[in-house]
Amino acid sequence: MTLGGPLAAVDSFLGLQYAAPASVQALARLGTGARAPPRAGGAPPEFHHLADPVDQVGYGGETMTPTLFGRWQTRTLLLTTFGVLFTLPFMLFYGLTPAPILSLVLFLSYRWDIGYMVIQGGRWDRDWPPAYQLFAGVWEGIITFLVSFLLAKLFRVFAMPLPVFIVQYGVIWFVTFLASQSLLRIVFPNWRYRGGQ
């Protein structure tokens, strides 16, 4: 909870514990007839200890949600490390085809991130929850396959059977998703507080 912050009541459960009685007390001071429910023992509630900030999250005024450049850096890092690592086994069996597919995923992701930033800007918390990432991964995979299917008519290097594409794309998406939700936050603890940069 941030003391005096605009969303203190929704920042944490502790904030809700503080905001609910504080709201009732404010209404009582206004003479609305609102009063706190009786407590066991009749002692008035004491919430002053909840007014202290729990912990500072980032530095004041810095971006907490990813910026467009931060999203691009994160995608590039994840796909050029984990993406390449998990594409290599597919290249043993299917030649060079998995590499251009991975490149296509990275190329298209830069364009999708622009749209995602617009959508994210309309959300109250300006954040992109993991459930949205799951849905985005599904439709990104469908569009990537359709684009690779069309490119395969011009360049044979993009020709890949659908089941192989689903497995390669699924493995890479799952690994990069897990890395962004765990390893990236461990190795770069301040990453989220600098707009993903």
Q: Which of 118, 129, 18, 131 is nearest to 68 (CA)?
A: 118
Which run of H or of E encompasses 23?
helix 13-29
Token pair of 39 as six digits: 């407590």
Question: pLDDT at position 170, please?
Answer: 94
Token pair of 107 as six digits: 């190329």
Question: pLDDT at position 54, please?
Answer: 45
Name, in order, each residue with C-beta under 8 angstroms of 113's C-beta and a sequence gap of 6 or more: 68, 71, 72, 75
Per-residue pLDDT reduced to its tens digit, 49-86: 444 444 445 555 554 556 788 888 888 999 999 999 99
Question: pLDDT at position 95, please?
Answer: 86
- Please answer whether residues 158 and 148 qualify as being in contact, where contact means their C-beta atoms are separated by less than 8 angstroms: yes
Question: Which regions in the chain score pLDDT beneath 70?
Answer: 1-19, 32-66, 125-127, 191-197
- The rounded distance, in Å, linking the Cα atoms of 181 and 83 is 15
- Please answer whether residues 51 and 21 qualify as being in contact, where contact means their C-beta atoms are separated by less than 8 angstroms: no
Question: pLDDT at position 164, please?
Answer: 93
Task: Quickly list DSSP for 95-144.
Answer: TTTHHHHHHHHHHHHHHHHHHHHHHHHTSTT----HHHHHHHHHHHHHHH
Question: pLDDT at position 66, please?
Answer: 61
Question: pLDDT at position 189, please?
Answer: 75
Is pTM, for the whole model, over 0.75?
no
